[in-house]
Structure 1
């Protein structure tokens, strides 16, 4: 029986949990789907065998599958220029369509042998994919599409891979749904703002129409409102006189007129833009070239006024045309469809005013119509403003009930929300001042038989009389009748293809509502539907945000547990002097230069400075200047714009921007090239810089901590380092003493490292021999604390019992020999020790008497060590 299987399974599960944790991290870090999948493409290949990861979503309007994202794993980059982003496929020709339809995962082990899904398979084969694993992306509310993993190898995915990728898909589905909901909410919010502006304009026009019968005053008020929404220079009202077949320029609003047009004059109908609108009874748009083609006196005068474009709207009243409203501009302007619709609605109201002025006998009826329209628009405006002001649906409902009662004879108003999973309606909000207490908010009812059921299922307004209410078998209908309700009107809350619930009004009078009332309530319900959808999305996003915040807090605690950078071990006088200096300068924003040999703990001091400063809540960013090629160091420090140099495919933030309001630690600062030192000096002095490829100055507030193991003063004398930068860095120097000057700290450091590695390797080490401790204190440690740490790690590996085994022979070598042999000496000694135990156990690895047990490590760990050290059993 293979004893390695349980440990291998455990390690695989740990890797899978780590992968899922990384997926959560990626979801928390990205709101953009492209960036999320790019991150997943880099994180997941360590535990799942794929070369491509893609997102395919169902387009409900076209009823097809569309490729939104296709990313390539970093381990096997794409070698072809073929891209599938944006590819649209019929459901039956796409494997993702099958997954979306059946809501089941699908593994295709060999695309070469697959005969289904012709279009999708052809596209995948075109980029070299030989096997795929597809999983549905589904949330509690909707089926979104599918996530796909592709491999350049056949038979790449198995049951274990499917289990892991299924967990990934569940997390990704929530993230994708959040992004889509967030985008939808923003679009809805913009639509609400635009609708509010439109209704404000219509309300202003409505007020102007109601305020005066003088057409000139009316046009002046309307022109002011129109120009605020749709900029133009000239507004004119031409009234049609059928007896003469001419227009009379009755009102003109044109501050920049040159005198070629005058109010009151008569112009011809035919051969003019306004005449075309009049004859066709449709809006007509023309530009300068069109005006030049009319060859009429009015066209010539329009050109003389400098008119470059004009829109003409016929003023229609019942079956005849009263005139034309024109707006024109000194530039060639085009307007969107919504603007044209808005102008059309304005023209309708102006037509009413014109008819009122021409036929004063119908003023009373016109005013009643305008009053109703005003109330309707006011109600819509109040609803729009309420939707924009209230995220909580109950607050929105309370703010619009007064307006509804002002327009309708409503004694009871309610809002019901549909639960599609339970097929129930919940009485979410209720306004019924005179009720007897038979109806309560929060009560849920079965959809069947409810007064709003027909409106919800039919997606159309429904009006109910007393007879329909009394014949209904539902509990809510019986309670309405018991409350004395005799008529009701229910309109559905529709949002694209979803029905969210219903807005309901009831009256204690029979036949209280008309079809016009139902139409008005439908307009109100459209806006309430947006608010309900936004509220539900906000609640879901808030819950997810709270969840991610808790996960972030947990991860931060984990990181702090594993990487405690304030853990500086030792109590020697030399170390105490350093810590005293750290406490002194940490609370300031002064630049600190940390000097010391390699491995002496300069980064720990830098982190301690940051954690003790007022910037501790902000970012600590580090950069090893020696680890970055000289050509890329400037980009790492200051960032670059897209296209700044070859390979700069996207804008990148530099370390200074990342460390804004925080601390930037530059390790090995002595390795910075001379030409870059000038720019670094400017940032330190001015706290501003420009990215590569940009002329925009960016200001930052960064505290700089630098470190080096080189003699900067000597470098300045040798012209290898700028003197002005050296003096700017050397504001407060701190010198880390080498370990050979801290021999008093060696016992504490040894115990600390021994316990650290023992916990990691699941060993129990209780004592350190005094002879070994003395040898450790006598050794000069040219590699300082880092060398001691590595040496103790090796000692813990070699330890079999509870006493730390210290290979004293290594400490007896000369410092030069130790320095020259380095890690290779430790590795060779470890190899020899493992070979020795293997020979003693007759090359038996597992079991009670095996080598792994004698070395105090797992069998899989020993096998990994043997592979790394090139140890194999002799033939």
Structure 2
């Protein structure tokens, strides 16, 4: 626009100037157009727009790039300059350079204000309030005439209109940008919430969290850190995005002590690290970077909270540290809140599943025990010296946690003694867990004892809790321990020594507090000699041996047992039997009972079934029946005129007093070692005297 046109501003001229200013991209462009205009009109050489920022008490300075290159922006110094005076006294400020320097010495020699001739600052008003000022500067010191001053005021009014339009446009743009950001963040939160809240398996949950964070933020390594059931340990689930979209999943166990996660658990605050040296990290956290060739540069740790409790830590590692901007960190905190809810649900589900599995296994064990347990046989019956000795031993050992080895022939009541030891111990509040080593196939015995994880072997579709885990804080009764496979014995020994074990298919140690009670009808000492049983396990089991006498060695207990069995069985069968003939009791007491108490009970049950009236009746031929000895097990026949005592003495002399073993007296007589020793005791034979 020409100076002539500028000298005679009409309505059309004002519209043209306003349109020209509004076409500029920003306020610096407005100042550039104004500068050309005022130079053409000879009004001034420089122009600038100063806007007051009440929120931060600063002044935003806008000028032509040719007049103040690189100086547009917020200036703290200008907040105490001419504009501050204009805000307090909204009149035009008109002065020369000397007056300017005297009023604002801090601006002297400032690049924004090189030496000039004349200065004027006119207020920019919007809706009746001062929002800034428009300053004009002349290089010469000639004062503006009244007409020139009016033109400057007119231009300032146009600048106020244009500035308001620009600020409104910027505000709307910022609002739109903020709305877009909030919309995008909301979509991310919804996506992650939908992805993780339906996951109840920890591994699947961590994979979904990692995928969502990588998709939205391109984070390279994502970990979820949870406290392990083992004290002092952390379970770290990590997904590394090394190759495009195919992540590498890893599960590790680390020490909590000294780790960054330990600090998060304690402080419950986010931690952001920019790593210049990996040696600054604890050893456990340094492992995260091993797959990346030490490329990762920044690490962000966010607490996963449930109320005031820290459930775990969300650990994010990134090669580009710019991902952890202030806005992204705000969003990541919100994401951590959603992940916390999902982790809380997954942990609760895992605990429910563990309790369900434990309950199912306990029910299975209880069913097995109920099917084999004689619930009515609640007391040990016996007043013989041999049984009183056993009961005193039970009372002595029950209150300790020592391992007990119960020895005795089949049917002598070893399980009954084991239950008595448990019920007299401080563990009696917990149910005793029982397992028969001879009744379980060798291939499944280890799984039944120590449990297994899912997929440990073919058919292991679900994890299983073993007997040792079920017996925690209680007693475990291992019946027929002599039949345990040789290859499984070292693992049993380890549990007894260290009180810890591993499930099949899992390398996590499980600690347990179990009191072991073992029983066997076999000669473990001989098995050790024959290398059929480990000597170290034998010595560990044989801490406190309890030898149960066979029934034939305590005949005075047989009438008591017969009466008790008769009463119990008759009640169960709905029969009324009031008495047992004296001669029947004498006959029972004189029998050898190779099957011991179990055989006696079976004979009594058979007699109850055959009894017609109220007096117990026996079929003596049925009662005295013994199976024919198998070939090879019959033993040597006595010589002519030789009774049982003489035969035993002769064979003992011939074997030099050796009772057990393939060439011992018991083998030649076709008897068990314990049976021969019982007969020798009954007949008063001392082998040491004979040799």
Q: Same fold (TM over 0.5)?
A: no
Q: TM-score, length-normalised on structure 1? A: 0.33
Q: Normalized against structure 2, the TM-score is what?
A: 0.42
Q: Which has the higher contact order (CA 8 A, sep 6+)?
A: 2
